[in-house]
Amino acid sequence: MEKDSTVTKRVWSIWQNCKKLFDFPRMNVRLHQFLRDWSLPIAMGGGVMMYLLYVNIPLFDNTHALAADIISVVQPGLIF
């Protein structure tokens, strides 16, 4: 029985050290702040990359006219 108690104390000690090493509430706040600060620039960069990919793939050449028509209708609603 004494051996189980020693193992339990050791596991508890390791757990306490891990909690000090990984401060989850503070880490979540930092992650949330990072996502808030960088989500717009990352989304803008991703949009530019996807546009360049779409324009430069010859397979999609016949869809450019349709996409232009759809964008001309949808874009004013997104701006205002």
Number of domains in the chain: 1
Q: Position of tokens 């869809």?
A: 63
**Longest CA span, the chain:** 78
CB 71 within 8 A of CB 65: no
pLDDT score of 17 = 75
In this prediction, residue 27 has a pLDDT band, given cuts at 50, 70 and 90, of low
The predicted model scores a pTM of 0.53
Containing structural domain, residue 51: 2-79
Asked whether 63 and 71 are in contact (CB, 8 A), the reply is no
